[in-house]
Structures are given as structure tokens and as C-alpha cells.
A and B are shown apart, each in its own frame.
Chain A
Amino acid sequence: MGVASYFRQIREAVVTIVDGMAVSASHLIRRPYTIQYPDRLERRVQETLPFRYRGILDVDLEICTGCLACERACPIDCIAMAIEKNAQTREIVISQFDIDIAKCMYCGLCSEPCPTGAIHHTTEFEGSDFSLESLILRFVNEPVVAYKPKKGPEPDPELARMLGAGMRYVDEWAQPAADKPAARSAAPVKPAPSAGPPDAKA
């Protein structure tokens, strides 16, 4: 090792260390990246997630048509439905709608064929619980009459809001690429003019 390289090494060491110190000092004065989940956030993480986020499934029973499409679509049979047909009124009565969220693999295949968007994923993902039993979501407490799609726009504002959100969900499903706005699915029910907020259900 020559004398010149000896001094060059000293100089290089000093210069690079000082430069490195400048880099770390610049990090010292900038805001930390850390997101302090779950309790020190300005908004809940659930609110910041996109509309298409596949979180825990939810069912808007008020607009469920009882068509059983979701039950048939589920590849792992985590949806259990029971319907009865009233012979006189030709109404469908839903007496059971259970989703075993512990089995669910969040594939979204159930929400794809849903005609009204009643079954859909939410942005909720905090599902831990103390028993497997409580992970079975039971949406029907007592048998309810299934929803029947109307010819015109939905008169009930509450149902219209749900339908709007549901149809937006279904429509976006039908067009995975954002650059094809023209491809609208032929939905049986027209979305209500006053579409609800993007994530109406929490």
C-alpha cells in the first residue's frame, strides 16, 4: 500500500462517512413512514381501502332475490341457504342464509352472479373471534320474503340506495379493466339514479 493510497483511503473514509451521516440526518427530520395500526390513525384502515377490496362477506337481505346463485357458485360450499316457495303468492321465503366466514377463501365468485349485488365483500378484515362457531355469519333470524325486482326504478329510497351500491359492485365486477367504460353488464335491474356512497356497508 503506497503512501498516496493510504491518504486517499483516509480521505474517502471521512468523506463517505460524513455523507452517510448527512443522509441519516435528512431522515431524522422527515416524517416517519409507520402507520400506527390499529388505534392511532386519522381514519380507520377499512375506510381507506378500495371499493373492490375483498374483505368479509356481507349480505343485504332486503335486496336478496333468493335465487341461490351464490350458493351454487361457492367452490367450497361455505354458503348455506334455505328457501321455500309460497304456492299461492308465488313469493320466495328465505329461511336460512349462513356464510361460514372461517371457510370462506374470499374468491368473490359468489358476488359475481348475484343479480342485485346483495352479497358482496366489504372492506372489513378484522375477523378474529374466540370461537369458530361465531365465525358463521347468520343473516336470517326469521324467514323473510325475498326481494322481487321492479320494472321501473325502485320507489323505496332505502332499497334504492342498497341497490345502487350493489349494482355498482356487480357492474365493476363485470369490467375488470378500467379502460373499458362502455362494457356495461346487462343487469336485470337498472341502478337507481341516486347511487349510494361507494362503501355503504361497513
Chain B
Amino acid sequence: MQAWLDSLIARGDFGARPDAALAYGIAMAIACALVLALIALPFASIVTWVERRVWARIQSRVGPNRVGPQGFLQWLADGVKHVCKEDLAPEEADARLFKLAPWLVALGFFLPWAVMPFSSALILADLNVGILYLTAVTALTVVGVLMAGWASNNKWSLLGGIRSAAQIVSYEIPAGLSILPVVLMSGTLSMEGIIRAQGWAPQSWFLFANPFCVPAATILFISGLAENNRTPFDLPEAESELVAGFATEYTGMRYLLFYMAEWGNMFVSAAIVATLFLGGWRAPALSRSAVAMNTIEFAVFNLKVLTIVFVSMWVRGTLPRVRIDQMMALCWKYFVPIAFVDLLGTAGWVALWPDGNPIASWLLLACAAAGIVLFVRRVAIYARRSRMELRLRPTS
């Protein structure tokens, strides 16, 4: 997007007119608004329905299926309901901060979309510090969450806010450390640059570039779960202990903003993993037309991201919530050292094979494929076992 505007300027379309800067700003604002309105917000709302259906199936339930075809419009009904609710602030709360907090959280959700690489041309601004910018702005959430916890004047909110802050700040470290191996290999911080350093085929993804990248990608994915306060790291909202954590006192639209950011950030953290390790939008050159190519790339990128989002739903349906000391132990005793080893190992690998080692990549890819086959067989075994249980079903 920015690149396209820049090329227009270079061609002289804006010329020496004095309002060129203004036009540029307006065009960028419209582009940002389009990305948010067409991708970010629909994703954040529709994913709630998808996730509820996925959990339901994992728990042998049906899930919301009454509003619209297969319950597809459930997100709309929930949203309308929340918007219609009264906007309350507790009497003893610090009203100004209380009302500001959800917007900061929402800002932390909106800002990452500026560098979201949907395709080779569809990126709002290809910053040369793209990934650094991403880690910086996603951490903005912690300010809003802590502010919400403090301003609510409620013990549960405060505890939830503090837990969230501790969690997000802690997991920034392994996340940052597992981004670095990719930066070492690609030699750039720009999102597009990192994607261009990879190929469309799996063996040329950074995930399989060397043996240290698989744990790095796993740590990045799990840290993403933790930073979004998602199960098994949803301690800030542990309802059995903290009611709804930092969101306890919130109602209606403001409550919705917290959850919109939480659900929407699934896309952001999945996009980071997809960009860094799974080759982002890279697709085989099937067409000569730039428009067709960009469409394919957009589809490939979203497919990868949605797959990772599905895995995080699946994790949420599988694992119970960890204890706070377990969560901290996981971060500091396991993730941080392993991420350091990954960083050093990748540094050594890049020193040995600056252009990558195709044999190792193929071997890793083969291992991954074998692992997936074994996993699918395991699933089949469990599915067969559950069919036997079905025969004992008392109600059928």
C-alpha cells in the first residue's frame, strides 16, 4: 500500500502540489481503515463463533447453531447484545482511566495490522523494523490491562491485571529470543524481507532451516498464546479465582473491546508465526498477472494463519489452565534457556552454512511429515476407541 503510494509519488502524480502530504496521509488512513474494517474486525468477531463450534465438537457438544445458518450469525447477536448494554463505571473507580483502558487494549490490537504482510503488495507499510514494531505494539496491551485492573478498584481486577502484566512481560522475552534466529537467517527485520528470504515450498521455510528453528517456532507460538491470555495461560481471567480478572467491572461495549482484542490478537500472533517460520504469503508462481498472484498469496497467507489459529483453538479445548508458578517456571526455566540455545545454535548454523543446508531441511521436513503421519494414526486409534464407547451410549 505504502509502496504503491510511494511509486505514485515517484511517478509525479502528486507532483509538487502543496497538499501532496495531506493526500498521502488521507490515502494511508483510508487504507488502514479498510484493512481494519475488512479483515481485522470481521476476523475478531467471526472467530468467536468458529472457536465456540470447535470447542463444542471437542467436548462432544454441538455449539451455537441457532442464529443464522449453522449459527453463523451468533457473533452478530453477541455483538449487538453487548452494544445495547449500559455503559457502567463503578462509583469508586478511577473513571477516566477506567474508560481509557479498553481503548489502549484495542489500540494494541489495531496497530499490528499496519505491518501485516497479506501478500507481496498488500501490506500497509513495509517498515524496515517491521517485526520489532510488532513486538513493541503488541506489548501495548499490557498497559491497558494493568490500567483496567488498577482503575476498577476491585481486588479481582487488580490481581488479574497484575497477573496479566507479569505474564505478558515474561513471555515477551522468549518470544523476542525466538524471533532472533529468523532475523539472523534472513538478515532483515522487515516482514516482507523475511518472507522473501523463504520459498513457497516447505523445505525452504525457516521452520525447517535448521534443527533449532522447530523449538523456536514452538516457543513463539506458545508465547503468543500466553501473551493473548489464552488457555492454558488464561490466568488473568481465571473465572474460578478472579471472576473475570481485569474485565470484572466492565460492561457492554468496553467489555467487548477487551474480548475483541483478545480474539483478534490470535490472528496477529498466528500471523507472526506464519511470517517468520512458515513462509508467509509465499506461493508458487502460478500466474503472470499481479492481481491474480496477489490473490493467491493472500489466500495462502490466510490459510496458514487460520491453520495456526485453529491449532490454538484446539490447544484451548485440550489443555487445562496452568498454575501461576507453573506458568512462570515454564517461561523462565524452560523457554528462556531453550530460546537462548536456539539463538546460539542458529548463529553457529548460519556461520557454517550461510546459505542454508538443503539436506538438513529435507531431513527435518521428512521428520515433520513422519510425525504428522504418526499423529494422525494416534487420532485414528482414539477415534476408534470412542466409537466403541458410543455403542455403550445409554440414550441411543
Chain A contacts to B: CB under 8 angstroms: 10, 17-36
The answer to whether B60 touches A23 (Cβ under 8 A) is no
Residues A34 and B61 in contact in the complex (CB < 8 Å), given A21-B314, A24-B317, A25-B379: yes
Is B382 close to A, CB under 8 A? Answer: yes
The answer to whether A36 touches B314 (Cβ under 8 A) is no
Is B4 close to A, CB under 8 A? Answer: no
Chain B contacts to A: CB under 8 angstroms: 54, 56-62, 314-315, 317-319, 334, 375, 378-383, 385-387, 390, 393, 395
Chain B residue numbers with a CB within 8 Å of A34 are: 60-62
| Complex: A154 Cα to B381 Cα, angstroms | 60
Chain B residue numbers with a CB within 8 Å of A26 are: 379-383, 385-386
| Complex: A50 Cα to B65 Cα, angstroms | 30
Chain A contact residues: helix, strand, loop or mixed:
helix
The answer to whether B60 touches A25 (Cβ under 8 A) is no
Least distance between A26 CB and chain B CB atoms (Å): 3
Least distance between A31 CB and chain B CB atoms (Å): 8
Chain A residue numbers with a CB within 8 Å of B379 are: 22, 25-26, 29
Chain A residue numbers with a CB within 8 Å of B60 are: 27, 30, 32-34
Chain A residue numbers with a CB within 8 Å of B390 are: 30-31
22 residue pairs from A and B, CB less than 8 Å apart:
A17-B319, A21-B315, A21-B375, A22-B375, A22-B381, A23-B382, A24-B317, A25-B314, A25-B379, A26-B381, A26-B386, A27-B59, A27-B386, A28-B54, A28-B57, A28-B314, A30-B390, A32-B56, A32-B57, A33-B60, A34-B61, A34-B62
Interface centre among B54, B59, B387 (most CB of A within 10 A): B59
| Complex: A51 Cα to B383 Cα, angstroms | 35
The answer to whether B314 touches A33 (Cβ under 8 A) is no
Chain B residue numbers with a CB within 8 Å of A36 are: 62
| Complex: A26 Cα to B386 Cα, angstroms | 8
Least distance between B223 CB and chain A CB atoms (Å): 15
Least distance between B318 CB and chain A CB atoms (Å): 4
Chain B residue numbers with a CB within 8 Å of A23 are: 318, 382
Least distance between A22 CB and chain B CB atoms (Å): 4
Chain A residue numbers with a CB within 8 Å of B58 are: 24, 27-28
The closest CB in chain B to the CB of A34 belongs to: B62
The answer to whether A20 touches B319 (Cβ under 8 A) is yes
Least distance between A64 CB and chain B CB atoms (Å): 35
Chain B residue numbers with a CB within 8 Å of A32 are: 56-57, 60-62
Interface centre among A20, A29, A30 (most CB of B within 10 A): A30
| Complex: A27 Cα to B60 Cα, angstroms | 6
Least distance between B138 CB and chain A CB atoms (Å): 24
